Structure 1
Amino acid sequence: MTATPCPRPWKKGFEIELLAPPGRSRKDLADTIAARIGGTVRVCFYPQSEPSLVPDLPVFETLVLGFEILDPAGERVALCVDDLTLRADLNRNAPARPGWYRVLSDDARLLALVERHCDPQAPLEQVLQPLADLFGTRVELTEGGMSKAVDHLARSIAMLAPIPGERERPCELITAPFADDPGPALAALLADARALGFTVPVEAAVHVHYDAAPLRSARTLSRLVTFLARHGSQLRNLVGTNPHCVRLGPVADTLVDLVGSEAFLAADWDDARAMLIAAKPTKYADFNLLNLAHELPGKTTFEARIFPGSMAVEDILRNARLMEAVLVWAVGDDCLPDDADLMASLALSPADRTVWASRTVQA
């Protein structure tokens, strides 16, 4: 396989972390967007993971409630979901709101069964029953509104728990991918959020997913990873990465060594991708290669995670264009620039170049 020719503009989607005011929720934003476009809202499960304090269990796999906004033709416009990293602005002692919960398990494969077979809008005590049916058991109800599905030996399969601490307020607004100018649609989405009193949380970030089809070659990926390893810190300084963000980190040395090896550079894409998977790239870094490595259906993307939280459309788009220029460089033939020549090496508009040059001088 070879890389697909570079698109212009690059197809991309946005994940914008927001916070509802007290008394409102991400469902309110989904309902507002749907009403504006004449669409509908579908309640769904959305997978998340969080660190675990249990020995030998690094993460808990979790499903949270999401709200998918569909246009009149049934196409997804956006998705409003929780982000478990957003904590600082919340009242952790607030009780759970009725109907708000999450589903936990120590195995993501079991949660995939929950997504496929369970109804997030069923009465809480019945949500997990279709999963229990697969094991020939009944859901067990416990104190505090919790329930769990178990197997025939009473071993826990998954647990449903009300979610306190104002967890209905965080909202990661995930857009559908844009093939053309995303500006008008982003402006409308964020205007809806602003009208409801949504704000930017303390730990907020904006993540941008770029179509990875043009990156599907060992040579291109090697150039991209080498560039990001060399200039990642400078890019963070330019965009002003939020110091309160978690789950970030530089390009791993193992990846840099891999993409620079003769074996990788000589490999076709299938073999290069296998090498990349074996190197175990993590989602939780400044630049996420996991979706590209696994070529996830519908989400074969390269994700840039360094951008600070914002509700200013032009700032979001300017940051996205900066990373897009890096990707354009990666599919080209120019030599790796040094720090002083970084801006000159990237295909930027005069207006963008002026902004980034000013920030370079300030830094």
Structure 2
Amino acid sequence: MSVIHWKVGYEIELLAPRGASRKDLALRLAENAGGGTIAPVFVPQAELVHTDSIQVFENLTLGYDAFDASGSRIARCADDMTLQADLDRSAPPKPGWYRIVGDDARFLRLIKRHSDPNDPLETVLLPSAELFGVDLQRFDNGMVRLADGHASIAMATHLPGERERPCEIITPPISSVHHERLAALLNPAADMGFTIPAEAALHVHFDAAPLCSAAGFASLVLIFHHFGDQLKALLETNRRCTRLGKWPAQLMALIETPAFAESNWDDARLQLGQLKLTKYVDFNVINMVHATREKHTFEVRILPVEFDVGNIVKSTALLEGLLRAALDPEMKAREIKTSTLGKFVEQLQLEPETKQHWLGRIASQPMPILNP
């Protein structure tokens, strides 16, 4: 069995069967963990709306944290706005489910801080109305609007058809027994009839602390740029998954300058901060560049969702091997650029069984042409 030695967090996108919801899975996870509890939580979500110009609607959606009997969080069961294809939009809203919508993430963060997710739609915006010194506007369809004069600040509205069904399992950072921890989340979901959505992805967040040096970051970016397309073929990235893409050419140009690799990490971050980077790429470095306190990670966004925990662990172990290669001070850019994926994997610090698994997969399937 493959073993992971890195602190890792997972985001696993699933879909509840009709008539069930992510709250039901949170309840099951808590019950299985010695009779724990759940608590509702507002989860920020960005929704891209394609009109004449792409607009972003900011959402606070209802998720549920599952805790074990000692009060430690096992997982968060959240919505994910990218999951759309499997939902019946004509289905009536389910009682008790709603979201708060606005066009300014700063206002939504403020509203989140002053709102209680235990409150019903009708009253959840009352504390924010007091904060802004205004009265709420109420509509016959149940929508509640918070506005300053004619300028809308946010709305609380019933959740659209079946939006209670998407369930992104978000784990806390896992430092050991990764296989057992994942099985305790995915096996109950499978038993309850949860399925894999059409657009599903599995995101792996690696603790970024060991990667925070300019030289290590440069090698990391070069490795995942050079082998990126082949890794997507090898790992069988879901082609219907959205919000993936390549890094901008400016990032590649920056990390290949000799001065960058010789920088200290703070200076390197300042240079990286000048680039137009986004999280919606195959390999997300935003949380490293901006040193996000809650999620200081290197995120791999190309894995498919599956219920086979052994396969997830094997994929994570392969990625961990690539990260360790980036940290090798003897690793040279020319060595990366002139290597094939098979030869590179042969050099990785992997357990023999894991290495043979991936070398066999590489040898048995056609691969895209390597990035130049």
Same fold by TM (over 0.5)? Answer: yes
Query: What RMSD in Å do the two structures reach over aligned CA positions?
Result: 1.5
- Tell me, what secondary structure is at the counterpart of 1:352? helix
Residue 230 of structure 1 corresponds to which residue in structure 2? Answer: 226
CA distance in 2: counterparts of 1:198 and 1:207, whole angstroms: 18
Residue 329 of structure 1 corresponds to which residue in structure 2? Answer: 325
**What amino acid maps onto 1:324 in structure 2?**
E
Residue 36 of structure 1 corresponds to which residue in structure 2? Answer: 32
Give yes or no for the alignment of 1:171 onto 2:167. Answer: yes
Please report how far the alpha carbon of residue 54 of structure 1 lies from its aligned counterpart in structure 2 after TM superposition. 5.6
Please report how far the alpha carbon of residue 343 of structure 1 lies from its aligned counterpart in structure 2 after TM superposition. 1.5
Give yes or no for the alignment of 1:260 onto 2:256. Answer: yes
Please report how far the alpha carbon of residue 186 of structure 1 lies from its aligned counterpart in structure 2 after TM superposition. 0.9
Please report how far the alpha carbon of residue 100 of structure 1 lies from its aligned counterpart in structure 2 after TM superposition. 1.0
Give yes or no for the alignment of 1:242 onto 2:238. Answer: yes
- Tell me, what secondary structure is at the counterpart of 2:39? strand
1:58–1:267 CA distance, 2 compared to 1 (3 A): farther
CA distance in 1: counterparts of 2:214 and 2:173, whole angstroms: 25
Residue 297 of structure 2 corresponds to which residue in structure 1? Answer: 301
**What amino acid maps onto 1:359 in structure 2?**
R
String of CA shifts for 1:71-93, please: whole Å, max 9, x gaps: 23322110000111111211121
CA distance in 1: counterparts of 2:200 and 2:52, whole angstroms: 29
**What amino acid maps onto 1:319 in structure 2?**
S
1:192 to 188, 193, 197: 188
Q: Report the TM-score, using the length of structure 1 for normalisation.
A: 0.94
CA distance in 2: counterparts of 1:91 and 1:54, whole angstroms: 22
Residue 208 of structure 1 corresponds to which residue in structure 2? Answer: 204
Please report how far the alpha carbon of residue 155 of structure 1 lies from its aligned counterpart in structure 2 after TM superposition. 1.2
Give yes or no for the alignment of 1:100 onto 2:67. Answer: no
Please report how far the alpha carbon of residue 262 of structure 1 lies from its aligned counterpart in structure 2 after TM superposition. 3.3
Count of residues in correspondence between the two structures: 355
Residue 3 of structure 1 corresponds to which residue in structure 2? Answer: none
Please report how far the alpha carbon of residue 53 of structure 1 lies from its aligned counterpart in structure 2 after TM superposition. 3.9
CA distance in 1: counterparts of 2:259 and 2:137, whole angstroms: 53
**What amino acid maps onto 2:116 in structure 1?**
D
Contact 2:346 2:359 in 1 (8 A): no
Instruction: Give matches, 1:350-361, under 5 Å.
Output: 350-361=352-363
Instruction: Give matches, 1:56-205, under 5 Å.
Output: 58-151=55-148, 153-205=149-201
Residue 317 of structure 1 corresponds to which residue in structure 2? Answer: 313
Q: Report the TM-score, using the length of structure 2 for normalisation.
A: 0.92
CA distance in 2: counterparts of 1:279 and 1:345, whole angstroms: 32
- Tell me, what secondary structure is at the counterpart of 2:141? helix
CA distance in 2: counterparts of 1:334 and 1:264, whole angstroms: 16
Contact 2:247 2:277 in 1 (8 A): no
1:56–1:246 CA distance, 2 compared to 1 (3 A): closer
CA distance in 1: counterparts of 2:140 and 2:253, whole angstroms: 52
CA distance in 2: counterparts of 1:329 and 1:246, whole angstroms: 29
**What amino acid maps onto 1:358 in structure 2?**
G
CA distance in 1: counterparts of 2:257 and 2:137, whole angstroms: 54
Please report how far the alpha carbon of residue 271 of structure 1 lies from its aligned counterpart in structure 2 after TM superposition. 1.4
Residue 345 of structure 2 corresponds to which residue in structure 1? Answer: 343
Residue 4 of structure 1 corresponds to which residue in structure 2? Answer: none
Contact 2:146 2:152 in 1 (8 A): yes
Contact 1:65 1:120 in 2 (8 A): yes
- Tell me, what secondary structure is at the counterpart of 2:294? coil
Please report how far the alpha carbon of residue 145 of structure 1 lies from its aligned counterpart in structure 2 after TM superposition. 1.6
CA distance in 2: counterparts of 1:314 and 1:43, whole angstroms: 31
Contact 1:291 1:301 in 2 (8 A): yes
Contact 1:19 1:198 in 2 (8 A): yes
- Tell me, what secondary structure is at the counterpart of 1:65? strand
Structure 2 unaligned residues grouped into runs of 5+: 367-372
**What amino acid maps onto 1:104 in structure 2?**
V
Residue 282 of structure 1 corresponds to which residue in structure 2? Answer: 278
**What amino acid maps onto 2:273 in structure 1?**
I
**What amino acid maps onto 1:351 in structure 2?**
E
Please report how far the alpha carbon of residue 237 of structure 1 lies from its aligned counterpart in structure 2 after TM superposition. 0.9
**What amino acid maps onto 1:107 in structure 2?**
D
CA distance in 1: counterparts of 2:184 and 2:78, whole angstroms: 18
Please report how far the alpha carbon of residue 177 of structure 1 lies from its aligned counterpart in structure 2 after TM superposition. 0.8
Give yes or no for the alignment of 1:17 onto 2:13. Answer: yes
- Tell me, what secondary structure is at the counterpart of 1:17? strand
Contact 2:77 2:169 in 1 (8 A): yes
Residue 370 of structure 2 corresponds to which residue in structure 1? Answer: none
- Which stretch of structure 1 is more off in the superposition, 142-151 or 214-223? 142-151
- Which stretch of structure 1 is more off in the superposition, 179-188 or 20-29? 179-188
CA distance in 2: counterparts of 1:258 and 1:50, whole angstroms: 31
1:53–1:238 CA distance, 2 compared to 1 (3 A): closer
